[in-house]
Amino acid sequence: MAFELPALSYSHDALEPHIDARTMEIHHGKHHAGYTKKLNAAVEGTDLAGKDIEDILKNLDMTNTAVRNNGGGYYNHNQFWTAMDPNDRGRLSGPLLEAVNAAYGSKDAFIEAFSKAAGSRFGSGWAWLCVHDGGKVEVCSTPNQDNPLMPDVGCGGTPILGLDVWEHAYYLNYQNRRPDYVTAFFNVINWNEIERRYEAATK
């Protein structure tokens, strides 16, 4: 079964002023759609066809650049869109907040660490909050469309929050002001969803 571009659960302009409608249209409708189409082409007729994306990425031959780049792009963006919500976002709380406090000392220190990971990633890539065995959380970043599910990327665990810091994710609105974009992201995070992911990762 072919991979499909998931529909957004909100309109293109729903995250404004933090993320603008035109960026959302291009980012979802062109970039994510492109990764989806190219991923399907890359796995067609191979032993990867019919497997789910998590299995593909966890067992990936990292020299297979077509699947690495497009499979990563497909999965990462699936995570990204659903990590945001214009309305019912909740707040960082419960077991996830406890894990964040254990790892970083406070919510503010976690935000600082995540923002640093996003801001210091040279060129294109992603910042992540990942869950390890025992429920411990860690902030890290990966280049290009790599993600923590892939082998030997120096950033492991189960990703539960990812921020796209490719320029196509923010340049129309923020130009070269990536730190402003990172700050804005924290205004639209759907903590209800991130907490659900944390719970699933620790079962």
CATH number where 40 lies = 3.55.40.20
Structure tokens at 111: 């935000």
64 burial level (CB within 10 Å; 0-12, 13-18, 19+): middle
167 located within any domain: yes
pLDDT of residue 150: 98
The total number of structural domains that make up the chain: 1
126 located within any domain: yes
8 located within any domain: no
1 located within any domain: no
- Reported pTM: 0.96
H or E element: which one contains 127? strand 125-131
7 located within any domain: no
In terms of residue numbers, what domain contains 70? 20-203
52 located within any domain: yes
Residue closest to 13 by CA, chosen among 5, 4, 22: 22
Does residue 88 register a pLDDT over 90? no
H or E element: which one contains 141? strand 137-143
65 located within any domain: yes
Does residue 89 register a pLDDT over 90? no
6 located within any domain: no
